[in-house]
Amino acid sequence: MNILFIGLGNMGAPMAAHLANAGHALTVTNRSQSKITQWLGNNVGQALPSPDALPAETDAVILCVCRDEDVEEWLIDNGIINQLSPGALIIDHSTTSAGLAERMATAAAENDVFFCDVPVSGGQQGAENGQLSLMAGCAVEAYERLEDLTAPYTKAIAHMGEPGCGQKTKMVNQICVAGLIQSLAEGIHFAQESGLDAEKVMSLVGQGAASSWQLLNRHETMIKGNYNHGFAVSLMHKDLQICLQEAKVRGVDLPVTAIVDAYYQQLESGGNGDKDTSSLLLRLKQHGKMQEEP
């Protein structure tokens, strides 16, 4: 297929590479020219000359950007949505609001184009290894093509419903992950403050009911104070704000999510927005020191 891939960050670059390696014809673009140059230096493809010059016969547009505004800018402000032929797919792997997905689907349908909100889980490691989990919100008639196209970087995929349902499913994912990371941070912090060998403790409890992906993959780096892995604090804070806004509209109480989001906001305000989400342990350590000060 002829694919335009928008967004060559930590997630997008390896995903686009998997598609190129699978034999698809890739045209790529990104806000920063350096990332385009870097990607083209390692993969077969071409750069998009300008947003109003989509290659002829583009079968699909795939986005992996950050915010609602980014998706709207690329598709609406830059006119990409109006350049696609009837039947083309737009696959948005960004994490956005459900309302944005619903609006984009309506706009795409006016041109007989399918908009699919397909947020992913698995982080940078999952993207690099082609082991992502995809949550798809799209029309039934678009799902089979979507499933086939994304197969090179997919471990698991499910059709969750109409546009917007993929984003709501990702909200569930982020709600669960936030609570897990905070619990893991507290467990490690308690072990360290109690004079235990924290790594030994985590290795043991990770074989029982306390086990989780976060514990198995992050406890060692957390104990070492290494927070340069995967998903950034600033992005998690953005995602949890989306969760909390959606919950407010629906009258759903998310007390733990609200607390953990406030902790991420504290980290971001303290200059730690680029650290990964496991840095909740760093916040605990810093908070403890602040409490001890006269």
Q: What is the pLDDT of residue 293?
A: 44
Under a CB-based contact definition with an 8 Å cutoff, are residues 68 and 76 in contact?
no
185 CB-side CA count, 13 A: 23
> Known catalytic residue: 170?
yes
Q: What is the pLDDT of residue 289?
A: 57
Q: Tokens for 200?
A: 């030994």
Q: Tell me: domain 168-292, CATH 1.10.1040.10, correct?
A: yes
Under a CB-based contact definition with an 8 Å cutoff, are residues 12 and 128 in contact?
no
Q: Tokens for 103?
A: 């609006």
Give burial (CB, 10 Å; 0-12/13-18/19+) of 60: buried
Whole-angstrom CA distances from 81 to 123, 228, 275 are 28, 36, 34
Helical H runs in the chain?
Answer: 12-21, 33-42, 68-72, 80-83, 98-109, 123-129, 140-150, 165-193, 198-205, 213-223, 233-250, 255-267, 280-292
Q: Catalytic residue, from 35, 168, 170, 248: name it.
A: 170
Architecture label for domain 2-161: 3-Layer(aba) Sandwich (3.40)
**Which part of the chain is CATH 3.40.50.720?**
2-161
Under a CB-based contact definition with an 8 Å cutoff, are residues 104 and 115 in contact?
yes
**Beta-carbon count within 10 A of 187 CB:** 19
Q: What is the pLDDT of residue 123?
A: 86
The whole model's pTM is what?
0.91
From first to last of the 294 residues of the chain, give the pLDDT tens digit.
999 999 999 999 999 999 999 999 999 999 999 999 999 999 999 999 999 889 989 999 999 999 999 999 999 999 999 999 999 999 999 999 999 999 999 999 999 999 999 999 998 889 999 999 999 999 999 999 999 999 999 999 999 999 999 999 999 999 999 999 999 999 999 999 999 999 999 999 999 999 999 999 999 999 999 999 778 999 999 999 999 999 999 999 999 999 999 999 999 999 999 999 999 999 999 886 545 443
**Beta-carbon count within 10 A of 32 CB:** 10
Q: What is the pLDDT of residue 243?
A: 98
To the nearest 10°, report the CA torsion of 261, 7, 169, 165.
130
**Which part of the chain is CATH 1.10.1040.10?**
168-292
243 CB-side CA count, 13 A: 25
CA 117/CA 75 separation, integer angstroms: 13
